[in-house]
Amino acid sequence: MSDPFYGREADLKGISTPNLIEISDSLMFVLNQIAKHGAGVWIVGGAVRDALASVSTGDIDLAVDIPPDKILSIFESAIPTGIDYGTVTIRVGDSFFECTTTRTESDYSDGRRPKIVEWGQSLAEDLSRRDFTMNAMAWDPFRELLYDPYGGRKDLEAGIINTVGNAESRILEDALRILRAYRLMSHHTKFIRKFGTKLTNAIKENRTALSRISSERIWQEFSQILRSEFVNASLTKMKEDQILNTLIPEITEIPPSIDSTQPVISVRLALLFRQNHVKDLERFLNQMKVSNTIKENSMTLHKKAKQLPLEKDLRVYAEIIGDLRESHLSLLEYEFGEDVAGDLREKLKHIPQNTPPLASGNWIMQSTGLPPGKKLGRLKNWLHRIQLERNLTHIDDIESLLCTIPWTSPNFENWPTLSWP
């Protein structure tokens, strides 16, 4: 039955659950527009799960029982972000809502994505294709009814992850669900403490299926685990289930209390590989095809994770470590303790980073007669280092400096460089 104000009713029996999710003005606009066209519209997935767990959620996902082209015609600002799977992103002001048509899926022959997707009007069928029971819940914002056909709320309250239907079938449909289970744990360890026995067995027995998943999709899930509040529990569980070894054979132990460090990917990676050579970290990052920034930052922090700067080197340290200062301090706190890192942080408060050299290449050429080349670059680097060490602030200081250092020496390869340590 369709209601002109509330939209079509779900084909499931719901439980009255008032005020489960706060409805913003922009979300209410979207809901009303869809309902006016006689369609059913429900909030689904993570938003419902997080609301029941009293955890704040940023994203609101909607399920609708009309085709995606209809949604595109209702909202001029809608973007067909995943049209093959019925997903359209609706923009209202600064808010975005992912809206997906209820559907059935079949033929996961490649173990990654369904080859057959059919639109439908059944919320019951749509929830039946989802991965875990706590993700297979929906809430009708008009009637304030919770739909929970697989006992997701009960599992959430018990702190256990179970699949919808047969665990092995769900894993083999899309092996990335293996990592999604650990990601779910990493974000909700306060509530989720274990996997159901059938899920654990299915993961262990089918862990090699991850080889069919692209490195980009694996990294998307694994990086979220690394950034999470409860990364330690999730990585420990991954190690117990032999999933971590499947992904990164070089890792033999999980650093204790990794949760206490800055929730930044490069910091967590540097710690995870702390007992390994940096080449192991580089090999993994290349395999995952991460961005150059993540790769460079992770490797820099790995190399310097246990190196504490001396007081005489603080200005050079601040320049070299640059924007990674807080990340490195987080690692130093892990290695040397809060007092040591706190003392260093205090000393660095008034030391700037990214201090440009007073002497430009042109100035040096005019002052020394040196032509462009490697020797000029090494001299510029040397002068910049002394500028930082002595806290020089005027070009006249650099001019005087040229009279005191042996820059005319032909052995410029031995000159000091701007580096730390």
Q: What is the pTM of this model?
A: 0.87
In this prediction, residue 216 carries a pLDDT of 96
**Helix (H), strand (E), coil (C) string for 191-242:** CCCEECHHHHHHHHHCHHHHHHCCHHHHHHHHHHHHHCCCHHHHHHHHHHCC
CATH of domain 2-157: 3.30.460.10
In this prediction, residue 2 carries a pLDDT of 47
SS3 state at 104? strand
In this prediction, residue 115 carries a pLDDT of 63
d(CA 18, CA 49): 15
Q: In the chain, how long is the greatest CA-to-CA distance?
A: 91
In this prediction, residue 120 carries a pLDDT of 83
d(CA 179, CA 221): 6
Enumerate residue ranges in the chain where pLDDT < 50.
Answer: 1-2, 111
List pLDDT tens digits, range 249-306: 999 999 988 989 999 999 999 999 999 999 999 999 999 999 999 999 999 999 999 9
In this prediction, residue 1 carries a pLDDT of 45
In this prediction, residue 342 carries a pLDDT of 96
- 92 forms beta bridges with 95
Q: How many CB atoms lie within 10 A of CB 237?
A: 22
List pLDDT tens digits, range 226-243: 999 889 999 999 999 999
Q: How many CB atoms lie within 10 A of CB 102?
A: 26
In this prediction, residue 116 carries a pLDDT of 66
Sign of CA pseudo-dihedral 58, 62, 68, 74? negative
- CB of 62 within 8 A of CB of 97? yes
Domain boundaries, the chain: 2-157, 361-414
In this prediction, residue 5 carries a pLDDT of 72
Phi-psi label, residue 72: left if phi above 0, alpha if psi -120 to 50, beta otherwise: alpha
Of 389, 391, 384, which is closest to residue 364 (Cα–Cα)? 384
